[in-house]
Amino acid sequence: MAKLNISDDEIRTLALELMPRTGEPTLTAAIKRALTNEIARSARPETLQEKVDALQRKALSKATHPPDRNYIDSRDDLWER
């Protein structure tokens, strides 16, 4: 089996942090577990709530001003009485 050569200090730090949390004996094993878990997580279908949350974040990020919580009141003011 080929050895894993980690030249990025941040990756090494993250793997060292993960090792005691997962009980993995080596950096390679910790990185393998992290990659396996990420692949499994990304393959899991998104729940409806996750989809709604993502759409809400996207919509709010495009808003130029905060949503008007009194929209119904302001809309009613547009009509003549």
Instruction: For residue 49, tell me if it sits in a domain.
Output: yes
Task: Provide the token pair at 35.
Answer: 């990659």
Confidence band of 62 (pLDDT split at 50, 70, 90): confident
Tens digit of each residue's pLDDT (9 = 90 or more) over 25-49: 999 999 999 999 999 988 888 899 9
Count structural domains, the chain.
1
pLDDT at 67: 60
Instruction: For residue 2, tell me if it sits in a domain.
Output: no
C-alpha triplet 76, 80, 81: angle, nearest 5°: 85
Cβ count near 34 (within 10 Å): 16
Mean pLDDT of the chain: 84
Tens digit of each residue's pLDDT (9 = 90 or more) over 65-78: 666 666 666 666 66
- Range(s) of the domain holding residue 35: 9-63
Report whether 3 contacts 28 (CB < 8 A).
Answer: yes
Instruction: For residue 77, tell me if it sits in a domain.
Output: no
